[in-house]
């Protein structure tokens, strides 16, 4: 598999340079780390080449209540000659988690009707196994949820805060609760690798 290294700046710069060691593979969806408002998140990305031969790296990420898209022009630089082996074993893309826990830390008394709509949405709930979507109050969380309450407080996160966590503990998303069920579903499906 051709490899590339994408250097994504911590802030959203208008362009980024990708160093191609032995070519760029296009039309492949993969995940990249990406900083959004100072929070490191894992996001869906892809490389495409237009008719003029320009290569673009497109990253989809969640910011606030919306799915945002940012595009970077990819500049190839000269590198070593291609690997003489024409058919090396591809490096597998990181597997998406098979399932997620969803944990919402809220101040119950501050819950709005719009937030209740997101929290209760059947499609959102269906993306989690039974009892793997929990809504916890910041002042009365069960023992297994307290670390998330603590993190939300330590990081000064705005409540309600959402954590999407793989069963082995990898946090795939932490940030604002999306404002609509559609954005929430897209976020979850993206992490689960279910977005085509």
Partner 1 sequence: MIDSTNYQIQFPPGRVAGCLPRLSRPGAICPMAADRIKVIPRAEWSDLASQLAVGKGLKPFVRDVLDQASVGSCGMESSAGSVMVSRVFRGLDHILLNPLSGYHFTCHGVDRGSSIDENLEFIREHGLAPESVWPRSKGWRAEPSEEAMAAALAFRIEEFYDISSIDEMVSALLQGYPVVYGANGHAVCKVRHLNEDQGEDLNSWGPEWGDGGFGVWASYRAINWQYGAWAVRVSSEA
131 binds partner 1 (CB under 8 A): yes
Within 93-122, the residues that bind partner 1 by CB under 8 A are 108-109, 111-114, 116-117, 119-122
Cα 51 off chain centre by: 29
x/- mask, partner 1, residues 143-162, rule CB under 8 A, reads x-x-----------------
Q: Least distance (Å) from partner 1 to the CB of residue 195?
A: 21
Q: Cβ of 80: how many Cβ atoms within 10 Å?
A: 7
* Rounded distance between C-alpha atoms, residue 115 and residue 121, angstroms: 10
- Residues contacting 187, CB < 8 A, separation 6+: 62, 67, 164, 173, 178
Closer of 83 and 107 to partner 1 (Cβ): 107
Q: Determine contact, residues 39/174, Cβ cutoff 8 Å.
A: yes
Nearest to 3 by CA among 47, 36, 49, 60: 47
* 46 makes contact with partner 1 (CB under 8 A): no
* 184 is a contact residue toward partner 1 (CB under 8 A): no
Window contacting partner 1 (CB under 8 A); options: 12-20, 53-61, 130-138, 187-195: 130-138
Instruction: Judge contact between 103 and 136, C-beta under 8 A.
Output: yes
For residue 147, is the peptide bond before it cis, meaning its omega torsion is within 30 degrees of 0?
no
Give the interface size with partner 1 as a residue count (CB under 8 A).
Answer: 25
Question: CA–CA separation, 167 vs 169, rounded Å?
Answer: 5
- Least distance to partner 1, CB of residue 194, Å: 20
Which residue among 3, 25, 63, 134 contacts partner 1 (CB under 8 A)? 134
Smaller CB separation from partner 1, 136 or 152: 136
* 132 is an interface residue for partner 1 by CB under 8 A: yes
CB of 132 to partner 1, least distance (A): 8
Residues 15-34 as b/e (b if ≥16 CB within 10 A, e otherwise) read ebebebeeebeeeeeebeeb
List residues near partner 1 by CB under 8 A.
108-109, 111-114, 116-117, 119-122, 130-137, 140-143, 145
């Amino acid at each position: 598999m051709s490899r590339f290294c994408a250097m994504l700046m911590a802030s959203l710069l208008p362009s980024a340079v990708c160093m191609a060691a032995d070519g760029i593979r296009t039309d492949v969806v993969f995940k990249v780390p990406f900083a959004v408002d100072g929070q490191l998140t894992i996001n869906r990305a892809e490389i495409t080449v237009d008719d003029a031969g320009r290569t673009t790296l497109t990253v989809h990420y969640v910011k606030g209540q919306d799915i945002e898209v940012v595009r970077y022009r990819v500049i190839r630089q000269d590198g070593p000659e291609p690997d003489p082996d024409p058919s090396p074993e591809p490096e597998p893309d990181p597997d998406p988690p098979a399932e997620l826990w969803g944990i919402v830390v809220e101040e119950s008394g501050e819950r709005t009707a719009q937030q209740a709509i997101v929290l209760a949405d059947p499609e959102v709930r269906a993306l989690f196994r039974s009892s793997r979507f929990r809504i916890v109050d910041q002042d009365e969380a069960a023992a297994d949820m307290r670390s998330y309450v603590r993190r939300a407080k330590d990081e000064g996160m705005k409540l309600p805060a959402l954590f999407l966590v793989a069963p082995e503990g990898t946090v795939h998303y932490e940030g604002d609760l999306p404002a609509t069920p559609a954005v929430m579903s897209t976020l979850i499906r993206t992490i689960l690798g279910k977005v085509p």
